Structure 1
Amino acid sequence: MPVLHSTKKTIVLSPPTADREGVGEFQYTDHYSVFHYGPMPDAIPGKGEAACRMAVFNFRLLEAAGIRTHFLRQSGPNRLEFTLARLPETLDHPPTPESGNYLLPLQVLFRNQLPPGSSVHRRLASGGDLTPADLGLTAVPAVGERLPHPTIEYATTREAVNRFLTRADAQLLSGLDDHLFDALRETTTAVNTVLSGHAASVGIDHCDGKSEFLVTSGRELLLADSPGTPDESRLMFDGVHCGKQVLRDWYVRSGNEVPVGRLIADRVPRHRWPRPAPLPPGFVPVMSDLYRALCARWTGERHGNAPGLEAATRAVRALAGK
Structure 2
Amino acid sequence: MPKKWSTKNLTVVQAPTDNAEGIGIFDFTDDYSIFHYGKMPDKIPGKGEALCRMAVANFALLKEHGIRTHFLRFLPPNRIEFQLLRVLDPADGALYRNARNCLIPLQVIFRNSLPPGSSAFRRLDSGEISLESLGLTKMPKPADRLPRPVIEFTTKLEEIDRFITEDEAKDVALLSDAQMDRVKQLTIQIDDVLTKHASKVGLDHSDGKFEFGIAADGEIILVDTAGTADENRFLLGDFHVGKQILRDYYARIDLGGQVRHWAATKVPRDSWPKMEKAPPQLIPPMTAMYRALTERWTGDPIWKEASLEDTITSVKRVQESI
TM-score range, shorter chain: over 0.9
Which stretch of structure 1 is more off in the superposition, 3-12 or 28-37? 3-12
TM-score (norm 1): 0.95
Instruction: Indicate the residue corresponding to 2:208 in structure 1.
Output: 209
Instruction: Indicate the residue corresponding to 2:65 in structure 1.
Output: 65
The 1:271–1:5 alpha-carbon spacing in structure 2 relative to 1, beyond 3 Å, is: closer
Are residue 157 (structure 1) and residue 156 (structure 2) matched? yes
Q: Which amino acid aligns with 1:214?
A: G
Contact 2:230 2:243 (8 Å CA) reproduced: yes
Instruction: Indicate the residue corresponding to 2:165 in structure 1.
Output: 166
Correspondence list, 1:218-233, <5 A: 218-233=217-232
Deviations 1:29-70 (A, max 9, x none): 001001111111111111000110000000110111011111
Are residue 133 (structure 1) and residue 132 (structure 2) matched? yes
Instruction: Indicate the residue corresponding to 2:255 in structure 1.
Output: 257
The 1:239–1:105 alpha-carbon spacing in structure 2 relative to 1, beyond 3 Å, is: same
Instruction: Indicate the residue corresponding to 1:105 in structure 2.
Output: 105
Deviations 1:115-168 (A, max 9, x none): 1100000100112x2001112222221111111111111111112221111111
Q: How many aligned positions are there?
A: 320
Instruction: Indicate the residue corresponding to 1:77 in structure 2.
Output: 77
Deviations 1:196-250 (A, max 9, x none): 0000000011000111101012211110111100110011112111111100100
Are residue 288 (structure 1) and residue 287 (structure 2) matched? yes
- For structure 1, the 5+ residue unaligned runs are none
Instruction: Indicate the residue corresponding to 1:44 in structure 2.
Output: 44
Counterpart-to-counterpart distance in 2, 1:28 and 1:157: 20
Contact 2:89 2:105 (8 Å CA) reproduced: no
Correspondence list, 1:266-281, <5 A: 266-281=265-280
Task: After TM superposition, give the deviation of residue 269 of structure 1 in Å.
Answer: 2.6
Counterpart-to-counterpart distance in 1, 2:282 and 2:5: 21
Instruction: Indicate the residue corresponding to 2:146 in structure 1.
Output: 147
Which stretch of structure 1 is more off in the superposition, 171-180 or 50-59? 171-180
Task: After TM superposition, give the deviation of residue 318 of structure 1 in Å.
Answer: 1.8
Instruction: Indicate the residue corresponding to 1:31 in structure 2.
Output: 31
TM-score (norm 2): 0.95
The 1:166–1:277 alpha-carbon spacing in structure 2 relative to 1, beyond 3 Å, is: same
Counterpart-to-counterpart distance in 1, 2:218 and 2:231: 25
Q: In structure 1, the residue corresponding to 2:113 is in which secondary structure?
A: strand
Q: In structure 2, the residue corresponding to 1:73 is in which secondary structure?
A: strand
Q: Which amino acid aligns with 1:283?
A: L
Counterpart-to-counterpart distance in 2, 1:111 and 1:271: 32
Q: Which amino acid aligns with 2:199?
A: A
Instruction: Indicate the residue corresponding to 1:238 in structure 2.
Output: 237
Instruction: Indicate the residue corresponding to 2:117 in structure 1.
Output: 117
Counterpart-to-counterpart distance in 2, 1:257 and 1:90: 29
Cα root mean square deviation, aligned: 1.7
Instruction: Indicate the residue corresponding to 1:88 in structure 2.
Output: 88
Instruction: Indicate the residue corresponding to 2:22 in structure 1.
Output: 22
Q: In structure 2, the residue corresponding to 1:25 is in which secondary structure?
A: strand
Contact 1:36 1:160 (8 Å CA) reproduced: no
Contact 2:46 2:291 (8 Å CA) reproduced: yes
Counterpart-to-counterpart distance in 1, 2:221 and 2:108: 13
Counterpart-to-counterpart distance in 2, 1:155 and 1:94: 19
Which stretch of structure 1 is more off in the superposition, 182-191 or 137-146? 137-146
Counterpart-to-counterpart distance in 2, 1:72 and 1:236: 29
Contact 1:96 1:176 (8 Å CA) reproduced: no
Instruction: Indicate the residue corresponding to 2:190 in structure 1.
Output: 191
Q: In structure 2, the residue corresponding to 1:268 is in which secondary structure?
A: coil
- For structure 2, the 5+ residue unaligned runs are none
Counterpart-to-counterpart distance in 1, 2:4 and 2:161: 11
Q: In structure 2, the residue corresponding to 1:38 is in which secondary structure?
A: coil
Task: After TM superposition, give the deviation of residue 6 of structure 1 in Å.
Answer: 1.5
Counterpart-to-counterpart distance in 2, 1:235 and 1:4: 26
Task: After TM superposition, give the deviation of residue 92 of structure 1 in Å.
Answer: 5.0
Counterpart-to-counterpart distance in 2, 1:154 and 1:38: 20
Deviations 1:285-317 (A, max 9, x none): 011011001000001112224221010111122
Task: After TM superposition, give the deviation of residue 86 of structure 1 in Å.
Answer: 0.5
